[in-house]
A and B are shown apart, each in its own frame.
Chain A
C-alpha cells in the first residue's frame, strides 16, 4: 500500500496527491510517469509525475477526473492509500542527460495546457535548479481551471497565461501567445516543450513547425502495463510505430501522427461512459447503460 500524505483539490475536477513511494521518489526524473491502481478491482492508470521529494520519499501526482476510476480517486484523503503505485516509467526528458554547457546556451519555451501544467512543472523546476530560466505559457479554458501558477511563477523565467474566455491573462489559445512572443516580440526559442490535450499539442506542433522551433510533446495514450508489454500505447512517429511507454512518452512533435493518436484515445469511450453512469447512479442504477444487464 502506498499512503497518501497530502490530498488537495487544485481546481474543478483537478486534484493533487502526495504519495509515499520511496523507490519511485528515489529514481524518478522529469518526463517520466507512474501507474497507479486504487484498489484490487481498479484499473491501472498512467499519470505524469508533477513533483518528487527524494528525502521524504514522496511523489506528487495531479489528475483530472475523466471517468469512473479518477472520480473515485478524487475522494481520496490524506491517510488513504493506493493499492499499487509503480514507476518511474518511460524515459526522462532528453535535457536531463544533455551536456550542461550546451544546454545552458538553449532557450526553452514550455507550453502547458490544462492539467498538462503538472508534468511541465518538474521540468521547469529542474531547469531552475540547474540555473536555467525557461519561459512558460499556461493555458486553460478559464481562470478557475488554472493550476500550479504560483509554483510555476517561482520556477520560470517569464510566465504567460492564456484563457479561452480571457478571465486571466491573454484571451485565446496558447498558440496565440506563442505567435505573439515569437512573431511580434521577436523572442527566439531553441526548443519548445508542449504538454496538454492531444489537440493542443497538435496545433502547437503545427505552429512551431512553421516557426522552425524543434518541439517535444509528451503523449498520454491508453496503456495497461506501462513497461512495453501490451502495445496499447502504440503511436506513429515519423512513419514508425513506437510504444509511448518505453520509447516515450516524449516525442518529436513534428513527427507525431496526432490524428491517429486521437482516434486511438477514443478506444474505450463507450465502456468508460457506461462505467461512469454506473458509478454516478450507484444503487439507483437499474440498467440503461447497455452493459450491466439490469434492464434485461
Chain B
C-alpha cells in the first residue's frame, strides 16, 4: 500500500487486460487478495444505522462481515454472510451492487462507496479455497418439500428449508443444476466449475437432494408430486425462460438466435470448448439487439468467439438496463454501441442466411409508463448494418408449462405466477413461488430474496399442520 491512501477511493480490483480477455473465457475480474480486502474493509465506517443492509435484498449484516474482514477473521466473515446468503460467491460477482448495498453506502456520499460486492466475493472465495463448509442440520423433521428449478430462487429456498430441518428435493429440467447461473451467465463473469459448482455443492451438503432431467408439468406434475410422491409443500422457482423475438421480417433466417439459445450453447453446452460436441455459429460480424445484462453477455461471448460485435439499442446510454460494470467491460473489450437505433428488418441471402440488418435511428420523446423516455423513430433514417449473425436479447417471460398443468395455480396476464411477495404463497394450497417465475425476468439476488421468502412461507405453513 502507498503511504498516504485516498480513503475516498476504492481499492482497485485487478482485472485481465481487455485485449487479452477478449480472446479467452477466463474470468475478467480477478478479485481482491487478503491484503487488498483488508485495506478495502478499512474504508467501512461501520455505521450504527447501516443503510447498506437495507439495500441488500437478503439483508446480509454487511458492516459485521466487513469488520471481521478488517480484523483478518475471514472464516468469521463467511459465517456472517452464510446466515443470510447461500450463494455469496455468485452474488459478489453478479449483483447490481451500485443500485443496492453500495448505492446506499454512507462512504459513497462524498467519495466512492465501499466495494461491498468485491469484499463479499473475496470472503466467499477464501472460504471455499480454505474448505469452509456449511454445517448440515443434525436431524430432519421428516417433512418433505419439493423445489422446482435449481436456479438462485430454488437453491436459496432449498438451502433455507434444509437448515430448518426439512427434507428437500430440487427438480431440475436441464441436465445440470444452476438455472441461469449455469445456462445464462457466461464463464468469464461467473466460472462454472470454480464458483457455481461449489456453491451448489454447499446446498447439497445441507442435505438437499437434486434430481436433474425432470420437467415438471411433463415428466410429473405438481399435483402428482403432492398426491403420489409425498411432498407436503412445493416451491416453484422455475424462472423466466421463454425468449422474446421482435416479429420483424427475416427473423427466422439462419444466423438469427435468441440470446438464450446462443448463451445456452456456449455456457451450458460448452460449445466454446473444442472437446464438447454442441456446435455454435462462429460469426464474422454480429449484431446483438438489446441493452440488458443478457445482451452484454451475448455480445461479449460472440466477441470471444472471434466476431466483431455491435450492440443495437433503441434508447440512449443512460437507459441501458445492464449493470454499469458490464457496459464498461464490454466497451473496454471493443464492442461497438449503436445507441438510439432500432432494427426494422433482417436481410438474408439467397440461401436464407443473414447478410445484414436494416435499422432506424431513434430519438427520445416523452417518458413512457416505465418512466424512461420513449424512443421515437426518426422518419427516413433507415440504414443498413452488415452482419452475418443477429442475436435477439429482448428479455424473457415465464414458461407456462407448470402453470398450465397445475390445478388451481393462477397466473397474471403476463403468465407470471401470482404469489405473495412476503411469503411466496400462491393461489394453490401448499404451493409457493418466487423469482422470475413470479416477477418476470429480474436479477439473481431478487430471485434469492424471493426464495428466502418462500422458505419462510413454507415453514410457517408446515409448522401449523
Q: Which A residues fall within an 8 A CB radius of B?
A: 23-24, 26-27, 37, 41-44, 68-69, 83-89, 224-225, 227-232, 234, 236, 241, 246, 260, 263-264, 266-268, 271-272, 275, 291-292
| Contact of A246 (CB < 8 Å), options: B183, B214, B401 | B401
A residues near B276, Cβ cutoff 8 Å:
41
Measured CB to CB, the closest approach of chain A to B255, in angstroms, equals 8
Interface mask (B234-250 → A, CB under 8 Å = 1, otherwise 0) = 00000001110101000
Measured CB to CB, the closest approach of chain B to A269, in angstroms, equals 10
Measured CB to CB, the closest approach of chain B to A22, in angstroms, equals 10
Which of B23-31, B92-100, B264-272, B430-438 binds A? B264-272
Once bound together, how far apart are the Cα atoms of A217 and B260, in whole Å? 27
Once bound together, how far apart are the Cα atoms of A196 and B348, in whole Å? 28
Measured CB to CB, the closest approach of chain A to B229, in angstroms, equals 11
Interface mask (B141-177 → A, CB under 8 Å = 1, otherwise 0) = 0000000000000000000000000000000011100
A residues near B280, Cβ cutoff 8 Å:
271
Most buried by A among B183, B242, B401: B242
Once bound together, how far apart are the Cα atoms of A260 and B219, in whole Å? 31
Once bound together, how far apart are the Cα atoms of A229 and B278, in whole Å? 16
Measured CB to CB, the closest approach of chain B to A135, in angstroms, equals 31
Given A27-B219, A44-B175, A264-B252, do A230 and B258 touch, yes or no (CB 8 Å)? yes
Most buried by A among B242, B261, B265: B261
Once bound together, how far apart are the Cα atoms of A275 and B275, in whole Å? 11
| Contact of B352 (CB < 8 Å), options: A229, A231, A263, A275 | A263
A residues near B254, Cβ cutoff 8 Å:
263-264, 266-267
B: contact size bracket: 35 or more
A residues near B352, Cβ cutoff 8 Å:
260, 263-264
| Contact of A234 (CB < 8 Å), options: B213, B215, B241, B252 | B252
Interface mask (B219-239 → A, CB under 8 Å = 1, otherwise 0) = 110000000000000000000
Pair A241/B252 contact, Cβ less than 8 Å: yes
Given A23-B219, A27-B218, do A42 and B213 touch, yes or no (CB 8 Å)? no
Given A229-B399, A230-B261, A292-B274, do A86 and B219 touch, yes or no (CB 8 Å)? yes
| Contact of A225 (CB < 8 Å), options: B174, B219, B251, B274 | B174
Most buried by A among B174, B220, B260, B281: B174
Measured CB to CB, the closest approach of chain A to B325, in angstroms, equals 26
Measured CB to CB, the closest approach of chain A to B446, in angstroms, equals 20
Which B residues from 323 to 363 make CB contacts under 8 A with A?
Answer: 351-352
Once bound together, how far apart are the Cα atoms of A291 and B281, in whole Å? 12
Nearest-CB residue, chain A, relative to B172: A86
Q: Is residue B257 contacting chain A, with contact meaning CB distance below 8 A?
A: yes
| Contact of B241 (CB < 8 Å), options: A26, A227, A236, A272 | A227
Pair B274/A84 contact, Cβ less than 8 Å: no
Measured CB to CB, the closest approach of chain A to B371, in angstroms, equals 30
Pair A236/B215 contact, Cβ less than 8 Å: no
Pair B219/A88 contact, Cβ less than 8 Å: yes
| Contact of A24 (CB < 8 Å), options: B219, B242, B258, B274 | B219
Given A86-B215, A227-B173, A275-B279, do A263 and B351 touch, yes or no (CB 8 Å)? yes
Given A88-B218, A241-B245, do A231 and B279 touch, yes or no (CB 8 Å)? no
Measured CB to CB, the closest approach of chain A to B213, in angstroms, equals 4
Measured CB to CB, the closest approach of chain A to B236, in angstroms, equals 15
A residues near B281, Cβ cutoff 8 Å:
267-268
Q: Is residue B6 contacting chain A, with contact meaning CB distance below 8 A?
A: no
A residues near B243, Cβ cutoff 8 Å:
229-231
Most buried by B among A85, A236, A263: A263
B residues near A225, Cβ cutoff 8 Å:
173-174, 183, 241, 264
A residues near B251, Cβ cutoff 8 Å:
241
Measured CB to CB, the closest approach of chain A to B298, in angstroms, equals 13
Once bound together, how far apart are the Cα atoms of A232 and B243, in whole Å? 10
Most buried by A among B214, B257, B352: B352
Which B residues from 45 to 69 make CB contacts under 8 A with A?
Answer: none
Pair B275/A41 contact, Cβ less than 8 Å: yes
Measured CB to CB, the closest approach of chain B to A205, in angstroms, equals 19
Measured CB to CB, the closest approach of chain B to A231, in angstroms, equals 4
Pair B277/A42 contact, Cβ less than 8 Å: yes
B residues near A271, Cβ cutoff 8 Å:
279-280
Once bound together, how far apart are the Cα atoms of A231 and B276, in whole Å? 21
Pair B279/A228 contact, Cβ less than 8 Å: no
B residues near A229, Cβ cutoff 8 Å:
183, 241-243, 260-261, 264, 399
Pair B279/A230 contact, Cβ less than 8 Å: no
Q: Is residue B422 contacting chain A, with contact meaning CB distance below 8 A?
A: no
Pair B277/A231 contact, Cβ less than 8 Å: no
Once bound together, how far apart are the Cα atoms of A133 and B270, in whole Å? 47
Once bound together, how far apart are the Cα atoms of A267 and B351, in whole Å? 11
Measured CB to CB, the closest approach of chain A to B248, in angstroms, equals 11
Q: Is residue B212 contacting chain A, with contact meaning CB distance below 8 A?
A: yes
Nearest-CB residue, chain B, relative to A45: B277
Pair A268/B279 contact, Cβ less than 8 Å: yes
Once bound together, how far apart are the Cα atoms of A93 and B39, in whole Å? 65
In addition to A83-B175, A234-B252, A272-B279, 8 A-B residue pairs with Cβ atoms within 8 Å of each other are A26-B220, A43-B278, A69-B277, A225-B174, A227-B399, A228-B242, A228-B401, A230-B264
Please list the 7 inter-chain residue pairs (A to B) with the smallest Cβ-Cβ separation, ordered nearest first. A271-B279, A230-B261, A263-B352, A86-B213, A84-B175, A231-B258, A229-B241
B residues near A42, Cβ cutoff 8 Å:
277
Measured CB to CB, the closest approach of chain A to B315, in angstroms, equals 24
Once bound together, how far apart are the Cα atoms of A210 and B269, in whole Å? 44
Nearest-CB residue, chain B, relative to A240: B247
A residues near B277, Cβ cutoff 8 Å:
41-43, 68-69, 275
14 A-B contact pairs sorted by A residue (CB < 8 Å): A85-B213, A86-B219, A225-B173, A228-B242, A229-B242, A229-B260, A231-B243, A231-B257, A232-B261, A234-B252, A241-B245, A268-B279, A271-B280, A275-B277
Once bound together, how far apart are the Cα atoms of A69 and B277, in whole Å? 7
Measured CB to CB, the closest approach of chain A to B146, in angstroms, equals 14
Nearest-CB residue, chain B, relative to A271: B279
Nearest-CB residue, chain A, relative to B274: A292
Once bound together, how far apart are the Cα atoms of A246 and B374, in whole Å? 34
Pair A37/B175 contact, Cβ less than 8 Å: yes
